[in-house]
Structure 1
Amino acid sequence: MADIRDVEVIAPNFKRRLSGVTSTIIQLIPIQRALGQKIAVLGPGLPESLPSIRFLDLLHLWKAPPGRRYRVWHARRNVEMLPAIIMRDLLRMKLKIAFTSASQRRHTGWSKFLIGRMDAVIATSGKTAAYLEVPNDVILHGIDTKRFHPAVDPAQAKAARGVDPAQKFVGCFGRVRRQKGTDLFVDSMIALLPCRPGWSAIVAGRATGPHVAFENELKERVAKAGLAERILFVGEHTNIPDWYRALDLFVAPQRWEGFGLTPLEAMATGVPVVATDVGAFSELVASGTMQTGTIVPADNLQAMVEATAAFMDDDRRRTAAGVNGLARTAASFAIEGEAGAINRVYERLMR
């Protein structure tokens, strides 16, 4: 438990179920603290290893921390903005409010009302910023480049995952459901693998609830194509960086995505990427002379097949794009860069 008197920034999490927002908080807080930010979390569903405060500690917010004019409350959901507005505007607490928006759609009137009363707004991508009607800072998500890194020995990395080291593998990782485009990936592989005997495919991720039937249909489709031993459904894994290190190519086939970290995770592992034009993918994956992959239109199977084939059939292109992706993530998308940029927003508010 953190001492509220020594906390300058509060990161609330008012949703008990694990989500992308919760995962972002869990990953960022230790890095922000390592960079010198006095930050603590508030709310359920977070690891005990994170410094936290109690709801009772909010009574101390009438007094600013030593050497500061204000504390910062960093909301990421509507339900976290509203209490901060009440504390700042009605109770006159020494508080400034930051909000991170990841939405890529027009905001409701209620959301606009809340966002319009923020002291700072952070957009997670340029696409997100385009839907905001207030000044904002664009800070793209980063990833842990110490956790996601290339394999020292690619053949050994494949053997460690129980797959054939002599094969090349193209992967699709994430929840198994239509929104994530898993069916587009499977259909691409059914089209591409029969005439490419040196390649196989890996689908890593979990299907839940109504999506289990969707996954079973995909497995039946694979079996009918005679590819059950070459399109592998490996389920959900906690050691997902090890699975990236078993890949030669990654496909992100989503029909919709809020941001999407999987292309960055692949690039940080030295794996080239074919991704649809959703979420922040077009801002992450580079084309041109420093190509790290290819962006294709969403929900366009033929475009995905053609872009994937171009990488599968060109070893030199894959190698170059993998090297470029590794350099791009290290230079522009390490999580330390994201944490530092957010900390600078806090400093601006506290001054």
Structure 2
Amino acid sequence: MLPQDLPSQDRLTVLHVSQPVDGGIARVVADLVRSQVAAGLRVVVAAPPGGTLHAEAAVAGAEVVLWSARGTLGTTLSGRRRLTRLVRRTGPHLVHAHGPRAGYTARMVLRGRVPTVHQPHCWPFEAVGGLAARIWERYAARWTDRVLCVSEAQRRRGATAGVTGRWVVIPNGVDLRRFSPAGDDARAALREALPALRDTVPAGAPLVVCVARLCPQKGQSTLLRAWPEVAAAVPGARLALVGDGPDRAALGRAAPPGVVFAGAAEGAAAWYRAADLVVVPSRWEGMALVPLEAMACGRPVVLSDVGGARECLPADAVDDCLVPPGDPAALARAVTALLADPDRRTALGERLADHVRMAHDVQRTAGAVLNLYRELLAVPPVLTATRAGR
């Protein structure tokens, strides 16, 4: 059993529990940690080894501890026991769980005794499909003070699946200091500097970049099916797949000419700036970070019309940027239209960059999360957006 009264602390303590340790979820957690440490909170991050999250959280000023829950959605008894001991040791005033496994395990352990925010990022039933995942999310919702969705589409998807939560929607944001526009000179220099491009992409060749884990969710197979049509319409065009994952071998076998497998990258900003166009052909998302990051770098994007995609774009860019998921022909048409029109690409990139600055600054996102914590903890308004990361 957990203690009913939390130990006394000089500062409010927030425990972030995350089962994913890399990709977009790790970047979201790291950005939140930076803002919360700057706002004066004591922040603890519990996550499995590997990935980038531990290092980024530690650099941001969090206390980092190892924790993992093996098995489907982290339902193993050992994972719960480890988290119970961790909660007792760290004494959080609030727990913020990220991802299905961490979210389910944390709520099973806490059972409402500590204010709990669950941020699924992606619903597990979208990934694994099955009734079991829906039942788990419905069951755990009873011990959730807020279900934090990154888009209204994600909230609707959860409600349609029968998850009854006290919802809050806070769109993802990006660090505008790390992701900022770069001009043509920077694009050319980066193509020379990135080893995967230096010897494979001729100077001036149209370059499409897809940054994502190589897995079914991210839809690279659709992009590869679309690529021959693009290459036929835009001679010399190249496609760079940036990332690694379980589908690497299968995608390599299916890849037509003109495709470069760049492998995992430590930072994505250089790839966005090297690109003429960034494509995000996902099969499902909550609200993907990649299009926001690319847009912040001033690059036009083409993305599947899945959860959060429509909400991350300005209304006047939807027709240029969105395509149905899993539709290679529509994807090829959208990519070809933008590659063939440099002036249109430039104007669209500028418009998208302005939109991200206005609507998806990570400081705005972090401030909204801090205000959510204030509401749940009923503390004075000392956790403000102006203090977060400034």
TM-score bin (small chain): 0.7 to 0.9
Distance 1:253 1:31, change over 3 A: same
Q: Which residue of 1 aligns with 2:254?
A: 218
Distance 1:168 1:16, change over 3 A: closer
Pick the aligned partner of 1:98 from 114, 117, 123: 117
Aligned residue type for 1:348: E
What is the distance in 2 between the residues matched to 1:73 and 1:182?
A: 35
Q: Which residue of 2 aligns with 1:304?
A: 331
Distance 1:4 1:232, change over 3 A: farther
What is the distance in 1 between the residues matched to 2:23 and 2:105?
A: 15
Which structure 2 segments of 5+ residues have no match? 1-6, 66-84, 126-130, 379-390
Deviation at 1:41, TM superposition (A): 2.4
Distance 1:202 1:340, change over 3 A: same
Q: How many residues align?
A: 323
Q: Which residue of 1 aligns with 2:144?
A: 118
What is the distance in 2 between the residues matched to 1:51 and 1:269?
A: 28
- What are the Cα deviations for residues 13-53 of structure 1, in whole angstroms up to 9, with x where unaligned? 26386465444322320122224444332454323434227
- The TM-score normalised by the length of structure 1 is 0.82
Does the CA contact (< 8 Å) of 2:17 and 2:45 recur in 1? yes
Which is worse superposed, 266-275 or 147-156? Answer: 147-156
Pick the aligned partner of 2:190 from 154, 157, 166: 157
Does the CA contact (< 8 Å) of 1:286 and 1:294 recur in 2? no
More helix by share: 2
Does the CA contact (< 8 Å) of 1:249 and 1:271 recur in 2? yes
Pick the aligned partner of 2:311 from 274, 283, 287: 283
Does the CA contact (< 8 Å) of 2:16 and 2:43 recur in 1? no
Deviation at 1:314, TM superposition (A): 1.8
Deviation at 1:179, TM superposition (A): 3.3
Does the CA contact (< 8 Å) of 2:42 and 2:62 recur in 1? no
Please tell me whether residue 166 in structure 1 is matched to residue 204 in structure 2.
Answer: yes
Aligned residue type for 2:266: T
Alignment of 1:226-245 (within 5 A): 227=257, 230-245=258-273
Distance 1:21 1:82, change over 3 A: farther
Q: Which residue of 2 aligns with 1:323?
A: 350
Q: Which residue of 1 aligns with 2:370?
A: 343
What is the distance in 2 between the residues matched to 1:16 and 1:292?
A: 33
Does the CA contact (< 8 Å) of 1:207 and 1:215 recur in 2? no
What is the distance in 2 between the residues matched to 1:232 and 1:350?
A: 50
Pick the aligned partner of 1:58 from 80, 88, 105: 88
What is the distance in 2 between the residues matched to 1:293 and 1:184?
A: 18
Pick the aligned partner of 1:72 from 91, 94, 98: 94
What is the distance in 1 between the residues matched to 2:152 and 2:342?
A: 33
Q: Secondary structure at the match of 2:266?
A: coil
Please tell me whether residue 197 in structure 1 is matched to residue 235 in structure 2.
Answer: yes
Does the CA contact (< 8 Å) of 1:102 and 1:125 recur in 2? no
Distance 1:279 1:291, change over 3 A: closer
Please tell me whether residue 82 in structure 1 is matched to residue 93 in structure 2.
Answer: no
Distance 1:293 1:335, change over 3 A: farther
Does the CA contact (< 8 Å) of 1:285 and 1:295 recur in 2? no
Does the CA contact (< 8 Å) of 1:202 and 1:233 recur in 2? yes
Percent identity (aligned)? 26
- What are the Cα deviations for residues 82-112 of structure 1, in whole angstroms up to 9, with x where unaligned? 22226x1xxxxxx322222334458633322
Pick the aligned partner of 1:143 from 145, 150, 174: 174
Does the CA contact (< 8 Å) of 1:296 and 1:307 recur in 2? yes
What is the distance in 1 between the residues matched to 2:248 and 2:238?
A: 23
Q: Which residue of 2 aligns with 1:11?
A: 15
What is the distance in 1 between the residues matched to 2:118 and 2:297?
A: 31
Aligned residue type for 1:139: I
Does the CA contact (< 8 Å) of 2:321 and 2:334 recur in 1? yes
What is the distance in 2 between the residues matched to 1:4 and 1:13?
A: 21
RMSD: 2.7
Which structure 1 segments of 5+ residues have no match? 65-70, 89-94
Does the CA contact (< 8 Å) of 2:206 and 2:238 recur in 1? yes
Q: Secondary structure at the match of 1:171?
A: strand
Pick the aligned partner of 2:36 from 32, 36, 39: 32
What is the distance in 1 between the residues matched to 2:142 and 2:310?
A: 28
What is the distance in 2 between the residues matched to 1:56 and 1:266?
A: 37
What is the distance in 2 between the residues matched to 1:16 and 1:298?
A: 24
Does the CA contact (< 8 Å) of 1:291 and 1:321 recur in 2? no
Aligned residue type for 2:325: A
Aligned residue type for 1:310: A
